[in-house]
């Protein structure tokens, strides 16, 4: 139950608050969007630094094997998201959204759960930290490539 509450607080609550605020006060959300993106990225990077610092020896030992699996998993998720959105007949704009959302999973949440409920188990934290680093790199790179071509919503 504690895990469900944590997930709800980290995922559902911000989502509901953001959607509600955007529906009622789009002027406020326009002003908050960019600063909150930077704050969320800083928090995310902080989680990764803590996970790596606490498990640096394990990271060095297993990084090679983990890297390949994380990159493969991410590529399959990105490709699967795009393929599913295409098969569903979604617009190019929506295909982009589904591709990014499917491929860039919430590793920050994973780190919170690992440290909060599993005592920061080293192997789990190393995987989630590498996962977070790679997803940030691949997500930013893909978004940059996608941004070069404008599509209608």
pTM over 0.75: no
Domain that holds residue 127: 43-147
Token pair 């498990």 is found at 55
Query: In this structure, are residues 128 and 106 in contact, taking their beta carbons and an 8 Å threshold?
Result: no
Q: Is 82 inside a domain boundary?
A: yes
- Which one-letter DSSP state was computed for residue 149? S
User: pLDDT tens digits, residue range 31-89?
Assistant: 998 898 888 778 878 877 887 787 788 778 887 888 888 899 889 989 999 999 999 99
User: pLDDT tens digits, residue range 5-31?
Assistant: 877 877 788 878 888 998 999 999 999
Q: Is 13 inside a domain boundary?
A: no
What are the start-end ranges of the E strands in 1-135? none
Q: Is 36 inside a domain boundary?
A: no
Q: Is 99 inside a domain boundary?
A: yes
List of residues 6+ apart from 103 with CB closer than 8 A: 74, 77, 78, 81, 135, 138, 139, 142
Q: Is 107 inside a domain boundary?
A: yes
Q: Is 135 inside a domain boundary?
A: yes
- Residues 137, 123: Cα–Cα separation, whole Å: 21
- Residues 64, 81: Cα–Cα separation, whole Å: 26
Query: In this structure, are residues 132 and 108 in contact, taking their beta carbons and an 8 Å threshold?
Result: yes
User: pLDDT tens digits, residue range 117-149?
Assistant: 777 666 777 777 788 788 888 888 998 898 888
Number of domains forming the structure of the chain: 1
What angle separates helix 122-147 from helix 26-54, to the nearest 10 degrees? 140
Q: Is 31 inside a domain boundary?
A: no
């Amino acid at each position: 139950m504690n895990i469900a509450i944590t997930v709800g607080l980290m995922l559902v609550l911000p989502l509901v608050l953001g959607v509600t605020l955007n529906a009622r006060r789009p002027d406020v959300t326009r002003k908050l969007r960019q600063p909150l993106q930077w704050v969320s990225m800083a928090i995310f990077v902080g989680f990764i630094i803590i996970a790596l610092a606490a498990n640096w020896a394990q990271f060095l030992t297993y990084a090679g094997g983990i890297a390949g699996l994380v990159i493969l998993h991410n590529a399959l998720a990105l490709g699967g998201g795009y393929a599913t959105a295409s098969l569903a007949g979604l617009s190019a704009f929506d295909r982009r959204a589904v591709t990014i959302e499917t491929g860039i999973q919430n590793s920050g949440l994973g780190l919170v759960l690992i440290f909060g409920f599993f005592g920061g188990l080293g192997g789990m934290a190393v995987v989630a930290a590498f996962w977070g680093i790679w997803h940030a790199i691949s997500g930013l790179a893909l978004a940059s490539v996608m941004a070069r071509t404008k599509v209608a919503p």
